[in-house]
Amino acid sequence: MRRNTRFVCILLFSLASFVIILLRSRMVPAAPPQGKPPAAPSALPTVILRPATFLQMPGVPIPERSLDHEADSNNPLHWDGDTLYLFNNESHPWRSSGPDIEHLGGRFSVDLGAQNNKLNHWIESTWKDDDGTLYGAFHYEPDTICFSNEHILTAPRIGWLRSHDNGATWEDLGFIISADPCAINCQTHSPWDSGGTGDFSFILDRNKQYFYFYGTSYDPRFEEQGIFVARLAYADRNNPAGKVQKWYHGGWAEPGIWGHVSPLFPAERDYHTPDGAMFWGPAIHWNTYLKMWVMLLNHARDTKLTEDGIFITYNRDLANMEGWSKPTMILNRDGILHATTIGKVVDGMMVVPRGVYYGELRAAGDGTVIADTLSSGWYPQVVGTAKGETDKLCGRKGRFFMTGLSRLEITFLKPGEKAE
């Protein structure tokens, strides 16, 4: 999870008088990831991103940083009857609920237990079971990995939780995925991570056999950096300790705790160097229109995780690691900035609409105002807007979010299908 702590003075005016113009981003093909042959472009779906009404998740309030809608991770959703539930995170998860994605409210800090409430947890992914039990997985960041009494540099790991009240309270079932604790680089150029595995999502396959985890490995060993994959048998969901397997050298050959990984999409340059480059922070859903799994990916061009674009990849079978297509860029850096612009500069003052996220602002060179956290483009995800759809399920159209904010609608087109 990533943080910034800058402050500015701003001038507010009514949202009704504020007009935003978005430019449509051209789709640009990505360079082939290392160690994976490219899929045939003619056989792949495409997407269209179109301007849509401003939509921001309730998020987490952080008054000391002038933030009211912080969303510092993937943002899982689930339905229970006619109610949609959402979790946003910033060192601790908050829950909101409502009749649909556009009308969420009543946010509150969830109860992780007396000890976990004092620690740094992000619930990045959830699954609502048929019996009503909600399962979740959290990204945990321990303190004092490299320096005494300091949170960062950290080395994240992943744990498993269970809830019987739609995530108001949680039962910790233990850590299930972590890297070798000795694989730490305290001389890293990263502002955050000395090692570890986190920034992930998980999803249950169509046959309800396995939960598949797609996450980010920040391991000091270059060959283990990038997007890793692990799985947990559905039958082990209530007793997961020691049951997770990691993908390694073509098979499920390593344990979830301290095991090695063979990245699905390996790093292009060592993450721990200033110019480190790799995919990270995957978000995955089943697309009912395409009948395919769809994964969005951040792509960092340096160890500060500066994004050069948002990428997409497709697969028909979660169990087939070779089935993922070559990641393709759907939104470039300019497109990210246009989609996250929240104001303009007038007579040297930064002007933004009243009531909208306005922490950590800065003026861009074109006279617009952007918020550093939002403009990063971090944590892209697709959220279906029909009843029953979530971050895990979407049809032909959905909303495209980055850091909990959406000004774009995403439309999925089958191979060869023409745009409307």
**pLDDT tens profile 176-210:** 999 999 999 999 999 999 999 999 999 999 999 99
Task: Tell me the pLDDT band of 356, cut-offs 50, 70 and 90.
Answer: low
Is the predicted pLDDT of residue 371 greater than 90, yes or no? no
C-alpha–C-alpha distance, residues 15 and 56, integer Å? 14
Instruction: Name the pairing type of β-strands 341-346 and 368-371.
Output: antiparallel
Nearby residues of 144 by Cβ (< 8 Å), 6 or more positions away: 150
Is the predicted pLDDT of residue 67 greater than 70, yes or no? yes
Q: Which stretch of 147-151, 166-170, 339-343 has the lowest confidence by average pLDDT?
A: 339-343
Q: Which stretch of 13-22, 43-52, 144-153 has the lowest confidence by average pLDDT?
A: 13-22
All domains of the chain in start order, with CATH: 11-413 (2.115.10)
pTM: 0.87
More confident: 286 or 7: 286
Q: What Rg value do the Cα atoms of the chain yield, rounded?
A: 20
Write 11-14 long-range contacts (CB < 8 A, 24+). 11/346, 11/349, 11/350, 11/351, 12/351, 12/352, 12/353, 12/354, 12/358, 13/351, 13/353, 13/354, 14/353, 14/354
Mean pLDDT of 386-392: 98
Task: For CA atoms 30, 33, 36, 37, give the dihedral sign.
Answer: positive
In percent, how much of the chain has pLDDT > 90?
74
Is the predicted pLDDT of residue 346 greater than 80, yes or no? no
Is the predicted pLDDT of residue 411 greater than 70, yes or no? yes
Is the predicted pLDDT of residue 7 greater than 50, yes or no? no
Is the predicted pLDDT of residue 14 greater than 70, yes or no? no
Residues 39-78: b if buried by 16+ CB within 10 A, e if exposed = beeeebbbbbbeebeebbbbbbebeebebbbbbbbbbbbb
Average pLDDT, the chain: 87
pLDDT at 70: 87
> 23-37, pLDDT tens digit by residue?
333 333 334 344 444
Mean pLDDT of 257-268: 98
Task: For CA atoms 6, 11, 17, 21, give the dihedral sign.
Answer: negative
In percent, how much of the chain has pLDDT > 70?
84
Mean pLDDT of 101-121: 97
pLDDT at 2: 56
Please give the angle made by the CA atoms of 89, 93 and 98, to the nearest 5 degrees: 95
C-alpha–C-alpha distance, residues 414 and 60, integer Å? 37
Residue 153, preceding bond cis, omega within 30 degrees?
yes
Which residue in this structure is represented by tokens 């959402």?
Answer: 86
Residue 283, strand partner residues: 296
More confident: 9 or 172: 172
Mean pLDDT of 329-333: 95
Torsion angle (degrees, nearest 10) of CA 313, 319, 322, 323: -50
